[in-house]
Amino acid sequence: MTLSASTPNLAVPEQESCAEGAQPSLRERILARFHQVAADQEKTIAPLTDELVLLESGLDSLCFAIIVATLEDELGYDPFTEAEDVFFPVTLGDFVRFYERVR
């Protein structure tokens, strides 16, 4: 049996590498900022899960101010000033969803 020219191309197209040019998700960027600020401020941070109550995260109000300010610089928006309704996230999941909603 020989292959003819009419055989469809079954080659798998190349995919972009995760390491090359792939942008981290918004959630990953937020979590990275939490870790970075905790390290910079020498705070011990709780494991970052959606259910984590922000007041129990190990971060103080200065840390949250830094997180919001640096995310605004990085993302180009601040959902706390752009949102029409006043909302203060209680959990980390709320915080991430708030950023996603205003995006």
Per-residue pLDDT 10s for the chain (103 aa) are 444 444 444 444 444 445 556 788 999 999 999 999 999 999 999 999 999 999 999 999 999 999 999 999 999 999 988 877 777 899 999 999 999 987 7
- When divided into structural domains, the chain yields a total of 1
33: exposed, middle or buried (Cβ count in 10 Å: 0-12, 13-18, 19+): middle
What does 39-76 look like in DSSP terms, one character per residue?
Answer: HHTT-PPPP--TT-BGGGSS--HHHHHHHHHHHHHHHS
Q: Which of 98, 76, 100, 102 is CA-nearest to residue 26? A: 100
How many degrees, rounded to 5, is the angle at CA 24 between CA 32 and CA 69? 45
Half-sphere exposure of 73 (CA within 13 A, CB side): 6
Contact of 48 with 92, CB cutoff 8 Å: yes
Structural domain of residue 77, as residue ranges?
29-102
In a domain, 37, yes or no: yes
pTM of the model: 0.75
What is the CATH number for 92? Answer: 1.10.1200.10
Instruction: Go through the chain and tell me how many residues it has.
Output: 103
